[in-house]
Amino acid sequence: MKTLRDVAVGQHCTVRKLHVEGAMRRRLMDMGLTKGTDIFVRKLAPLGDPMELTVRGYELSLRKEDAGKVEVE
């Protein structure tokens, strides 16, 4: 299983599934991370956490811990 955490800077991926339940799942979905959404990994912070993503035309910063719960293809 490949997660968003494993995607290199400068690559595109597509959300397949969220591996989290409850409030955290709702929060990720509210940020636009739903099945079929295209994501571009723009850059990483100097210490590697968080990641900066382009999702649905806006910039999103996401912790690597949370990115590990998003399965991508």
What residues contact residue 28 under an 8 Å CB cut-off, 6+ apart? 18, 20, 66, 69, 70
Name the percent of the chain lying above pLDDT 70: 100
Residue 1 pLDDT greater than 90, yes or no: no
Query: How do residues 17-47 score in pLDDT, each as one tens digit?
Result: 999 999 999 999 999 999 999 999 999 998 8
Number of domains the chain contains = 1
Q: What is the mean pLDDT of residues 42-69?
A: 92
Q: How far apart are CA 14 and CA 5, in angstroms?
A: 13
This prediction's pTM: 0.87
Q: The domain spanning residue 52 has which CATH number?
A: 2.30.30.90
Region 54-58: mean pLDDT is 92
Q: Which amino acid is at 1?
A: M
Has residue 63 got a pLDDT over 90?
yes
- Is 90 exceeded by the pLDDT of residue 52? yes
Domain that holds residue 15: 4-72
Annotate 26-58 with DSSP letters as a single string: HHHHHTT--TT-EEEEEEE-TTS-SEEEEETTE
